[in-house]
Structure 1
């Protein structure tokens, strides 16, 4: 399969019509964490995330998502925001969970989320990249790097001097990419599950 040159790839804010693709890429970026929080398999979990994206549910909302595309074809997604907004965006998810998941499942989601290991994902002086997902057919083309560069420019425009993200301990390919782009590990959180542990990484921008 041929791919467009990187010069032809553009990054734009997500639109309502992107909700299904955003949901798929958010699921891809979350990996086993999504299955753990939403208590399901790939298809049903993507459906739940799609509903949250459509409702602009806090950190799952399309209003903080960006789409990388070429010739109108979506290739990847980044969800990002100023670190100072993250607590409010987390809280904003809660009222949407109950109509989307039902009371019992929503309460279990919140319980599992509350007991996730580690501390803050981002500090208030950082620009935070919550999710980066590139469709499998487009991986290895530098699209993830382009999305992260967009995050760094956005953070600079907001007057911030650092960009932050977290990466699962199991995701060694992503870790190598982030290190190659100048992100450094500042905290490592271990967990017996193997998939809940992560590195918190920061880059000066």
Structure 2
């Protein structure tokens, strides 16, 4: 199968948003200030179409298989996180929702916010290609730390990330839930 990875475009929002929600779970409800699945989906689609949040098409890459979006990667530098989150916090405040959004990365590292593969394409190496792509992007920018957070209960994911060269660097908390912060050095 031929996989083409490219920068997302605003028109990819309808395909990318469900994959983002699948990966981040309840964090999507918090970030959108919505509870109903359809309302959460619409708000995440707006984020993908927009330019100023961590899930913007500008930070998102799509993996296409046979012309269909089979997976996504959301990657940004930690030094951008505060501005990306501040924009979202201000937008939510205008809508009457007070939110804080916890940082998910240090300012000196690249951060894989999301890797998600459509269930019908899982097991075909698309996730691995997205991780490889993230490493190439970081290397092209001069290298450095590449990080991600993983729920402490997701033992299979932790094993996978360790096989990919990530190591647990510290505990992390997102919305009161425990995560492992994992880091890999990219030359």
TM-score by length of 2: 0.88
Larger relative helix fraction: 1
1:23 aligns with 2:4: no
1:179 aligns with 2:133: no
State how far apart, in whole Å, the 1-side matches of 2:174 and 2:144 are: 30
Which residue is 2:74 aligned to? 79
Cα 1:183–1:46 shift into 2, 3 Å: same
Q: Deviations over 1:82-109 (max 9, x none)?
A: 222222222122333356xx31xx21xx
How far the C-alpha of 1:52 sits from its partner, in A, is 2.0
Which residue is 1:50 aligned to? 45
Matches within 5 A, 1:1-205: 4=1, 8-37=2-31, 38-98=33-93, 102-103=95-96, 106-107=97-98, 110-111=99-100, 113=101, 120-189=103-172, 196-205=177-186
Q: Secondary structure at the match of 1:58?
A: coil
Cα 1:55–1:191 shift into 2, 3 Å: closer
State how far apart, in whole Å, the 2-side matches of 1:93 and 1:128 are: 18
Number of aligned residue pairs: 185
Cα 1:191–1:151 shift into 2, 3 Å: closer
State how far apart, in whole Å, the 2-side matches of 1:192 and 1:152 are: 28
Unpaired stretches in structure 1, ≥5 consecutive residues? none
Q: What RMSD in Å do the two structures reach over aligned CA positions? A: 2.2
Cα 1:145–1:92 shift into 2, 3 Å: same
State how far apart, in whole Å, the 2-side matches of 1:93 and 1:30 are: 16
TM-score by length of 1: 0.81
Is contact 1:166–1:200 with CA below 8 Å preserved after alignment? Answer: yes
Unpaired stretches in structure 2, ≥5 consecutive residues? none
